Amino acid sequence: MRKIVHRHLGKVVAGAAIAVAGTAVMVGITLPGSAGADEPGRGSAGAAPGQAGSGQEQGQGQSAVRPGVVERAPAQGDKGTGRDPLTDDETARVERIAVNRQLFGSSENVEGGRGPQRIGVDLAEPEENELDDPGAPRRADVTFYDYRNDTLVTRTVNLDTGKVERTDTQHGVQPPLGRDEMTEAAELLIADPLGAGLRADYKDATGKELTSPDQLTLNSMVYRAAPGAQPGLLAKCGEHRCVRLFPKVRNGSWIDSRDLVIDLSARKVGKLG
């Protein structure tokens, strides 16, 4: 009985060895390269793409792998349907509709110029009585920040009628900053005496003078003052639009400026204690 068992196990082991060997052969044939393919003296396996090997190797070798092709995105229409994301045309159109002459003349952007600061444009949620209506109108919420009076303005535009259906204004609401706001914050910091450390760190890292936000990669966080915890200059942060910057040398290291706060509303820089 034991001889039969040993004989059976021997067949199993032999079969497994044959299977492993067969797998190795298959891998050697089907993989698009092998270790040492670039080493000299390896025949056609080490040949550069496009070089011919021996006739036998050509018959057994793989066909050349075609380079990947990135397909062009399908053309975007002028209008979306249903809950589709806003198209570029729709976004541009609702921005023009939302900023009428009155709003443009009475508001101020982050640079102190006329017109509110654009924050974002999003597809608006449908009304409660339209949730199951496939023909419900598409609306967009266009959000601006008015630096003249520190107000967040949201205007809801009906894309079907082209009219502003409602306007909502809020004080003390601080959404994440946009790219233009971060750039302006960096401009103020670079030019301020408190930005001396930032400028010095940049010069140590690159050997060049820091003169423009374009030399940095910027990330940011809205800053709100805790009552009694900040110096007077930063006490209004939260009511004012304030930011802490996290600058990085382009293709280089981070620069620590966490203790500095830029008040974009007052256009001043303060330092946390």
Q: What is the pLDDT of residues 177-191, one digit of tens each?
A: 999 999 999 999 999
- Residue 173 DSSP SS3: coil
The pTM score is: 0.68
**Helix/strand/coil percentages in the chain, nearest 5:** 35, 20, 45
Which candidate, 177, 191, 179, 192, places its Cα nearest to that of 244? 177
CB 243 within 8 A of CB 223: yes
One digit per residue, pLDDT tens: the chain, 273 residues?
444 434 443 443 444 443 434 443 333 334 344 444 444 444 444 444 444 444 444 444 555 667 766 655 445 457 777 778 999 999 999 999 999 898 999 999 999 999 999 999 999 988 888 777 777 889 999 999 999 999 999 999 999 999 999 999 999 999 999 999 999 999 999 999 999 999 999 999 999 999 999 999 999 999 999 877 666 889 999 999 999 999 999 999 999 999 999 999 999 999 997
Asked whether the beta carbons of 272 and 261 are under 8 A apart, the reply is: yes
Phi/psi for 149 (5° steps) reads: -130, 20
Phi, psi of 142 (to 5 degrees): -105, 120
> Across the strands, what pairs with 269?
262
Segment 69-122, tens digit of pLDDT? 665 544 545 777 777 899 999 999 999 999 989 899 999 999 999 999 999 999
Q: Do the beta carbons of residue 184 and residue 178 sit within 8 Å?
A: no
Longest dimension (CA), the chain: 102
Q: Which residue has the tokens 């190795």?
A: 24
Contact 110, 147 (CB under 8 A): yes
Could you give the angle at which helices 196-206 and 179-191 cross, rounded to 10 degrees?
100
